[in-house]
Amino acid sequence: MTKLIQHYIGDRFIQSAKRFANINPVDGSIIGEICEAGTEEVDLAVKAARAALAGEWGRCSVAQRADWLQRLAAGIEQHFDAFVQAEVRDTGRTVHQARTLDVPRAIANFRFFADMVRHAHTECFETTTADGGRALNYTVRKPLGVVVAISPWNLPILLFSWKVAPALALGNAVIAKPSEETPSSAFLLAQVAHEIGFPAGAFNVLHGLGGNSTGQAMISHADIDAVTFTGASSTGAHIMKTVADDVRDVSFELGGKNAAIIFEDADFEAAIKGVLASTFTNSGQVCLCTERVLVHRSIFDRFVSALKAQTEALVLGLPEDPATDIGPMISQKHQAKVLSYFQLAREEGATVVTGGDVPSFGDARDQGFWVRPSIWTGLPDDARCLREEIFGPVCHIAAFDTEDEAIDRANDSDYGLATAIWTRDVSRAHRVSPRMRSGLVWVNTWYLRDLRTPFGGVRRSGIGREGGRYSLDFYSEITNICVKV
């Protein structure tokens, strides 16, 4: 029997008559059925969230909210293997990645924001009044209210909890929707919330599609207070237009077309290893992944052949096999999109250094959504393949001559999420990093996270920052109180 992914509204699991299939991308098999929420379920969730704010959840102290987050974290820990399995079956990622990155980060997200909110402080000023007396000006942090959190499929529970944890920590009531491609870990989190008796209506999970469906109904509801969204830039633009009339607050973590710059003085082996990881982690389906590699001309040929060799050694395999490096694309639709760029790259004049096709396995994987890790050279900077986000296992490598040229070409993008710089020259690292037009710069590393730091992008890569105090700021409303004493 296949599992049925249901909504969690108030403190109850609710089914919808409308459903669609949950598909395992490794072999295209159907692994479950997903309920699709419509306006009725969205309205129920908003009412449950309002009731929570007016009830038990709204009366919780900061310390009590922090305790609830710790209990959610403990619940994930207790069901660690089930969360790993859920992530692996929905995405085809390796068990190793789910065990070492996705599920531990979900736990860390809840623990981090529980601690953060306990230690958060606000300002207080003494103001002199006209009659020579004084007033105290101080600020209080209050929840925004009902927060809609919408997340994508690429790092399902990591990104879902990255929004839900701070929103709850600040006392909001949350209505969250995971991607239609990857509902299972969010469904499990709802089961954990139910199991520990999380205050009813504070945390609601709806399942369903995005446009013309659940997501659209969520962002269009008149009684929500803010939308926090991670996903495609085009979806972000659409959400912004939708909530504009009601002037709702938004936080957007969107797409990327990230560059890596390899200077001639870089630790060569470290740079190869770093670019291999930044291009192919999660089969290139991470918003921070490198798609444009700029290498100093003096080491260009050596770099291309070393990266080619390491790319060809990557093992595309079953998630449970410890030898597997990477898995499939998330869906047939996404596989088709990535392959359309492979075709376009050829039309735009690329030299295919390696890959560029679909691997053949001779087993059930041939019904899955696989793409071979690929490298191109020879494209002009204005090629569509170098300007549009592909979100697959592919990078283009180009040569540069001067530092200024590398910076200008890396910055020549509509996106601005993450740049990776590889150099042994400390002065250069500090000189180049602030000139990058991106929200994040990693030097001699990639995707090294510290949850206290601001995370986000510029231009088509997003609006606002989350992480640390930036999340406190987004997920709360501040009132200034002036008391004449």
- The token duo for 179 is 């991607």
Integer distance in angstroms from the first to the last C-alpha of the chain? Answer: 69
Closest to ligand NAD by CB, 75 or 208: 208
**Contact of 382 with 396, CB cutoff 8 Å:** no
Distances (CA, A) of 337 to 104, 341, 356, 361, 392: 31, 7, 13, 21, 9
**Contact of 38 with 17, CB cutoff 8 Å:** no
Residue 462 falls in which region: left (phi positive, over 0), alpha (psi -120 to 50) or beta:
left
- CB burial of residue 138 (10 Å; 0-12, 13-18, 19+): middle
Q: Does 390 bind ligand NAD (CB under 6 A)?
A: no
Closest to ligand 6OD by CB, 8 or 475: 475
Mark the segment that binds ligand NAD (CB under 6 A) among 80-88, 89-97, 106-114, 249-257: 249-257
Whole-number Å distance between alpha carbons of 177 and 205: 6
Burial 141-160 (b: 16+ CB within 10 A, else e): bebbbbbbbbbbbbbbbbbb
Binding residue for ligand 6OD (CB under 6 A) from 449, 454, 463, 473? 449
Q: Which of 119, 112, 114, 107 has the alpha carbon at shortest distance from 66?
A: 114
Q: Does 288 bind ligand 6OD (CB under 6 A)?
A: yes
DSSP codes, 153-179: SSSHHHHHHHHHHHHHHTT-EEEEE--
CB of 158 to ligand 6OD, least distance (A): 6
CB of 15 to ligand NAD, least distance (A): 19
Whole-number Å distance between alpha carbons of 124 and 485: 14
**Binding partner selected for residue 164 from ligand 6OD, ligand NAD, none, CB under the kind-specific 5 to 8 Å limit:** none
**Binding partner selected for residue 188 from ligand NAD, ligand 6OD, none, CB under the kind-specific 5 to 8 Å limit:** none
CB of 105 to ligand 6OD, least distance (A): 7
Q: Does 177 bind ligand NAD (CB under 6 A)?
A: yes
Strand order of the sheet with strand 173-177?
A: 12-14, 7-9, 203-205, 173-177, 146-150, 226-230, 249-253, 462-463
Residue nearest to ligand 6OD (CB): 287
**Binding partner selected for residue 180 from ligand NAD, ligand 6OD, none, CB under the kind-specific 5 to 8 Å limit:** ligand NAD
Closest to ligand 6OD by CB, 147 or 407: 147
In the block, tokens 């101080």 appear at 138
Binding residue for ligand 6OD (CB under 6 A) from 369, 455, 474, 475? 455
Residues 185-244 that bind ligand NAD (CB under 6 A): 209-211, 215-216, 219, 230-232, 235, 238-239
Phi/psi of residue 391, each to 5°? Answer: 70, 40
**Binding partner selected for residue 254 from ligand 6OD, ligand NAD, none, CB under the kind-specific 5 to 8 Å limit:** ligand NAD
How many CB atoms neighbour CB 114 within 10 A?
23
Whole-number Å distance between alpha carbons of 169 and 62: 8
Catalytic residue among 35, 287, 289, 395: 287
**Binding partner selected for residue 37 from ligand NAD, ligand 6OD, none, CB under the kind-specific 5 to 8 Å limit:** none
Q: Does 286 bind ligand 6OD (CB under 6 A)?
A: yes
**Contact of 243 with 182, CB cutoff 8 Å:** no
Whole-number Å distance between alpha carbons of 482 and 439: 36
Binding residue for ligand 6OD (CB under 6 A) from 162, 187, 376, 400? 162
Q: Is 253 a catalytic residue?
A: yes
Q: Does 60 bind ligand 6OD (CB under 6 A)?
A: no
**Binding partner selected for residue 417 from ligand NAD, ligand 6OD, none, CB under the kind-specific 5 to 8 Å limit:** ligand NAD
Residue nearest to ligand NAD (CB): 210
CB of 58 to ligand NAD, least distance (A): 26
The full length of the chain comes to 485
Q: Is 35 a catalytic residue?
A: no
**Binding partner selected for residue 235 from ligand NAD, ligand 6OD, none, CB under the kind-specific 5 to 8 Å limit:** ligand NAD
DSSP codes, 68-87: HHHHHHHHHHHTHHHHHHHH
Closest to ligand NAD by CB, 172 or 233: 233
Whole-number Å distance between alpha carbons of 34 and 189: 15
Catalytic residue among 87, 180, 181, 253: 253
Q: Does 415 bind ligand NAD (CB under 6 A)?
A: no
Q: Does 284 bind ligand NAD (CB under 6 A)?
A: no
Mark the segment that binds ligand 6OD (CB under 6 A) among 71-79, 153-161, 302-310, 473-481: 153-161
Closest to ligand 6OD by CB, 198 or 391: 391
CB of 289 to ligand 6OD, least distance (A): 8
Q: Does 182 bind ligand 6OD (CB under 6 A)?
A: no
Q: Does 154 bind ligand NAD (CB under 6 A)?
A: yes
**Torsion angle of the four alpha carbons 189, 192, 197, 199, in this order, in degrees rounded to the nearest 10:** -10
Q: Does 420 bind ligand 6OD (CB under 6 A)?
A: no
Q: Residues in the site for ligand NAD, rule: CB under 6 A?
A: 150-154, 159, 177, 179-180, 209-211, 215-216, 219, 230-232, 235, 238-239, 253-256, 287, 389, 391, 417, 457, 462
Q: Which residues are catalytic?
A: 253, 287
Q: Residues in the site for ligand 6OD, rule: CB under 6 A?
A: 154-155, 159, 162, 253, 286-288, 449, 455
